[in-house]
Amino acid sequence: MNKRILMLLLGIVLCLQLYAQEQNVVQKADTKWFPEAKLGLFLHYGLYAIPAGVWKGKEYKGVGEWIQERAKIPISEYEQLATQFNPQQFDANEWVLFAKDCGFKYIVITTKHHDGFAMYKSDVSKFNIVDATPFKRDIIRELADACKKHGMKLGFYYSQSRDWHEADAEGNLWDFKGYQKNFQKYLDEKCKPQLQELLTRYGDVALIWFDGGRKMSDNESTQLVNWVHKFQPNCLTSSRIGNGRGDYETLSDNKLPTTTTDQAYEALFTHNFRSWGYSKTETKLRTPQELMEVLLNTISKGANLLLNIGPKPEGVFQEESIRDFRIIGKWINANAEAIYGSKGSPFPEMPWGYITSKPGALYLHVTKWPEDQKLSLPLNGRSSSAKFLVSGKKIKSKIAGENLLLSLPAKQPDEMCTVIKVSY
Ligand code: H79
């Protein structure tokens, strides 16, 4: 073969290889703020708040935001919900100030859940809050402005593969039975253009909370993460984008971390145990004490907690959620030093509660006050001092062999959880 042609072919092969490599290189974002923030407020808001788990008189227990799939509601019928969506009581400043008061450092809100409805003004699809509802206001815009005003980070939940409104996306087999899907077409024509809108029109986006649905190929995961970082290099992406391509790890829904980490990790829990969207069928709520256990268990393993509320159709949070989040928020604010910027516990689980740590300090979160008023820590005989975090009152301590032994008063200063700071 002609030498020149051979060289040319070789060159083409090399270029193709480089191109392929380029495709799989993921630019990682700066995750530093994330593990320090510790607490995020998750908001699942959408058309599914209207049926709230009940469709044509039938109750669908569990995940309310799945009503379209569970009742196999045809798109044309589901779209009618938009004509009823009119949250007149929605006030972005109120939501953000509530989150701030309760100690949340970031908010993540559904911009598009599996039903495919955009909660913002989208030029890509008319199935959005401004074009399809009598409300006509862009909730995401109002929230972004309020977050900026009050120094709150804002992240966007975006269902990247499931979209029951689109034939080529994952999930809707009742409207599009037997249809041969072209997933890349959906990515190119809806998913990516909508992400571009979200990343170019609302200021700094703290993170994109991708969710599961379809087993993504590595190429698809990489495409989307690079697409996000192309517009905002420091916008984090969640691990549910698949193939280890995300910037931080989200655990399974309503699951505690099992190991301690100093990486960017997040556990997510919903107040009512099962539904993320507002649901009239899921009335049982975690008590403030149960929320505290979830919080402390999570942060003692070094992870963040993303705690969810599904706002009601009128644009307000359930009163019980406001009440209970304020209860734990009060505790969180009083004990802020032991939470924000802390790392997990260097020890295995303790019978009396949980531990968080900072350089030179351990924070003992005592939820079960020891009956014998004794608390011991395996501190290798290191000299240290102990005090109550909130009152600053010193606690009697002595070194007994390897252990630091604390003598506690009979009465627990904070019934919910008392924090003891041990400095060494
Ligand atoms: O947004 C929330 C959920 O809607 C979403 N992730 C959280 C944050 C989610 N997407 N997929 N999944 C959760 C997997 C869950 C699927 C199931 Fe079901 C929901 C299994 C049981 C309930 C639908 C209804 C499929 C089977 C029954």
Instruction: Kindly report, residue by residue over 68-124, the tens digit of the pLDDT.
Output: 999 999 999 999 999 999 999 999 999 999 999 999 999 999 999 999 999 999 999
Nearest of 147, 139, 97, 143 to residue 326 by alpha carbon: 97
pLDDT category, 408, cuts 50, 70, 90?
very high
For residue 189, the 8-state DSSP code is I
**For the chain, what is the largest distance between any 2 Cα atoms, rounded to a whole number of angstroms?**
93
pLDDT, one tens digit per residue, over 2-51 is 677 666 666 565 545 545 445 567 778 889 999 999 999 999 999 999 99
Mean pLDDT of 141-160: 98
pLDDT category, 359, cuts 50, 70, 90?
very high
Tokens 């990790």: give the residue.
Answer: 265
Name the residue of 66, 163, 269 to mutate for ligand 1: max ligand atoms within 8 A of Cβ: 66
Does the Cβ of 317 fall within 6 Å of ligand 1? no
Ligand 1 atom closest to Cα of residue 113: 1
For residue 241, the 8-state DSSP code is G
Return the sign of the alpha-carbon dihedral for residues 33, 34, 35, 40. Answer: positive
Q: Are 274 and 62 in contact (CB under 8 A)?
A: yes
pLDDT category, 415, cuts 50, 70, 90?
very high
Atom 25 of ligand 1, nearest CA residue: 70
Q: Mean pLDDT score of the chain, rounded to an integer?
A: 95
Return the sign of the alpha-carbon dihedral for residues 255, 144, 161, 231. Answer: negative
- Region at 302 (left for phi over 0; alpha for psi -120 to 50; beta for the rest): left
Tokens found for residue 237: 């992406």
Q: Is the pLDDT of residue 281 over 50?
A: yes
Cβ-Cβ contacts under 8 Å for 108 (sequence gap 6 or more): 40, 41, 42, 43, 154, 155, 156, 157, 207, 209, 306
Does the Cβ of 66 fall within 6 Å of ligand 1? yes
Distances (CA, A) of 164 to 66, 76, 86, 223, 269: 10, 11, 22, 22, 24
Does the Cβ of 70 fall within 6 Å of ligand 1? yes
Tokens 């929320």: give the residue.
Answer: 291
CA 47 and chain centroid, separation: 20
The Å distance, Cα 66 to ligand 1 centre, comes to: 7
The pLDDT value recorded for residue 18 is 47
pLDDT, one tens digit per residue, over 53-70 is 999 999 999 999 999 999
Say how many C-beta atoms besides its own lie within 10 A of residue 344's C-beta.
22
The residues that bridge with 79 in the sheet, in sequence order, are none
pLDDT, one tens digit per residue, over 247-269 is 999 999 999 999 999 999 999 99
Please state, in angstroms and rounded to a whole number, the distance separating the CA atoms of residues 254 and 107: 18
Indicate the pairing of strand 265-270 with strand 304-309.
Answer: parallel
Which of 34-38, 126-130, 350-354, 401-405 has the least mean pLDDT? 401-405
User: What's the pTM value of the predicted model, to 2 decimals?
Assistant: 0.94
Mean pLDDT of 400-411: 94
Please state, in angstroms and rounded to a whole number, the distance separating the CA atoms of residues 268 and 263: 16
Q: Domains in the chain, start-ordered, CATH in brackets? A: 28-338 (3.20.20.80), 353-423 (2.60.40.1180)
Say how many C-beta atoms besides its own lie within 10 A of residue 110's C-beta.
27
Ligand 1 atom closest to Cα of residue 276: 2
Residues present in the chain in total? 424
User: What does the buried/exposed string (b/e) look like for 63-72 if buried means 16 or more CB atoms within 10 Å of the residue's CB?
Assistant: bbbbbbbebe
Write the burial class of residue 303 (CB in 10 Å: 0-12 exposed, 13-18 middle, 19+ buried). Answer: buried
